[in-house]
Structure 1
Amino acid sequence: MRPSEATTRVQSSAIRELFALLSRQDVISLAGGFPSAAAIDIEALKSAMARTMSQTMPAALLYGSVQGYEPLREMIAGRCRGFGMRLDASGIVITSGSQQGIDLIARTMVDPGDAVAVEAPTYLGAIQAFQARGANLVSVPTDNEGLHIDALETLFEQHRPKLLYLIPNFANPTGAVLSLRRRRQVLELAARHGVLIVEDDAYGELFFRDPPPPSLLALANAEERQWVVHLSSFSKVIAPGLRLAWLAAPVELMRHVHLAKQISDTHSSAISQMVGYHFLNAGSIEPALSRARQYYAKQASIMRRAVEAELGKVPLVTVAARGGMFQWIELPGVNTQALLPKAIEAGVAYVPGAPFFADRAGADSLRLSFASATAEQIGEGVRRLAGVFSGAR
């Protein structure tokens, strides 16, 4: 059997290939960015599930709207308005995770050969979604404040991309936050060149101390600009198993998104949507956010101290995480992909940096996740990494 070209042109996921290691008791995984069960408000979820069973049956077992459960969309729109986004329920589509939202935009907007601008590095799942549509991915360098604006302007002029995909808040994999000044510059450049912005905000509410600047959609709304698609998710805050996220798009794009969604899966799980609605309606989201922020801030602090203590003598570049789930590390002169088998042999796993680059650059970088490992595992895992890194020079 011969698979389709769309399938074969998608690069394999280093993260997926690392999944097999998670069952090995001798390997500490600092690889996957999985939300921890310890950060989930299980009792609040049980209550939301009970209300779903008692108040919204049998509707939760039947087919629903392609856009999603309207009471949930109204709750989401209300929260978004609190963050400065001008949204109502009609401007939102419920998706089965943010990954589906990315895929829907790729299906709706991208033809084979179209240029799509992405950050370097960026979320691997987005790279794969755009590759599957035959996109010509062009990369924009980044730093701790996000995209390099001069490079972005040059890229827009030379490649005329169909869209720009970016993660402005606590980015996966770097943890970078796009500064307010650069957000405004990105909006101005996108409007000038007619480039759609796809804002993936899966981590924006997982800040440890200071919240990030207003979303690109909120800033665009304030300036009466209609060039932003906004993606967000409950996976990192309520529970990833619900596969509950949403997409907001300009009205002229939304009908095409509806069609792509209908073709994809008809609609997202009705039960999950109603559980999400009852969770929000009960006021459980703010306590859940507080719980998650405190948990991941503690985890990040544990990893930061471990990196400082164990890797202090290893020449590397890293910046303390301010939110999200990841610690990005650069090891000048070290090929982290080639080093991974030695790390696994030493009993620790990470994700090499190269897969996060559309052009497979970043061979001297890696991503660690502090999300789901215990404090003891983080400390011991980083200690094992120190031995591997020291032996690589």
Structure 2
Amino acid sequence: MWIVLNLCGSKMTAFDLRFGVKIYDNDWFLRHGLSAVQAADLLSEWGVTYVIAQSKFLPMPDSAVTSLVSEKDRSAYEALDDKQFRRLLGERDIAYFAVLNICFDPAFSSKHPELSAIDQHGMPIIQQDWYLGIPPDRKQNLAHKISLLERAVEELQPDAIHLGFIRWPGFWETWLDGDRRADKPEYCFSAETIARFNADTGCDIPIADPKSAATTIFTDHRRAWTDWKCDQVVKAIEEIRRALAPLKAGLEYSINTLPFLRSDFGGAVEEVFGQDVVKLASVVDIFEVMAYHQILAKSPEWPTGVATDIIRRSGQKAICTLQARALYLEGMHAERGRARDISAAEFADALAATEASPVEGVCIFTFTDLLDLRSTPSGDAMLAVLKSYRRA
């Protein structure tokens, strides 16, 4: 399916959301030894129509993907030319989404401990596994991210901007069916956030005691608090769009979207994480739904259902991200009932479920996983169904 844009009087351009990949590391270059030309040719051969890609201009911290470049690879990494890679993709009609994580940046958080989130029990946020979130109302963080995006847009001239982690903090991948929401932290009840909430809403909640503030909010101001949290996410995206608009006309914006129904965990997607897709529809062109069915221990048909629900409620386009390999199996994630493998048949079932749905297309997490699976029976089968996806 195609999106058509009119770039301020220039010729009409378009990009296809049928089949994308997330490029969240540099393994295609550093470990698999592909040149930019070889990688672009391979993506084109597979039928990839868009990429969501990190770059030297928008480096990505480690998450479930090891994205940071190690010291031993630093010298080799210098030879990578992201501008060349972006140009080569464009020549092959592969759209380029430049991605930056907004509310996740452990290095920035460590330099600015005063910006830490505080939960409903008055406890400061701590890193869980790789995850350490930062609230979207932190002006210093947003200004820093906008400065990175401004340079990236000028240098890369992307087709779209993908905003990762644009939400209130929370390690959502650990929220499995049967978990109690009461056992999960909710953010943020810091003095800075409560003072801003008071100023915006006319409330007069004391800011000195986060635990007391949380109790008052949950008892007397829950709806106003949820609306305000959701509004802060919208405002952050508005500010980003406003800053980048003079640099390139016609940019589309996509965001990481939590794969929760509005009713899941008592409305946590809005109340805890601040993602109201109805409100977000005013600033988001494409909802990238992180429908990682193995991580959340769901059926292969579930991704289509949750993405379709987001389309119905938002009235906007959505793409459905599918895993190519199993994750979250060790350490704190062990013994949670997750499948230890994603078979080719299971992958095909997940892909097939999207075919007759209103989902615009799929995005595979990740390019590296597909590369690692090449020349294996499972990988070859996955690539075969991807190459034929919505080709009729």
Return the TM-score normalized by structure 2: 0.28
Return the TM-score normalized by structure 1: 0.28
Using CA pairs below 8 Å that are at least 6 residues apart, which structure has the higher relative contact order?
1
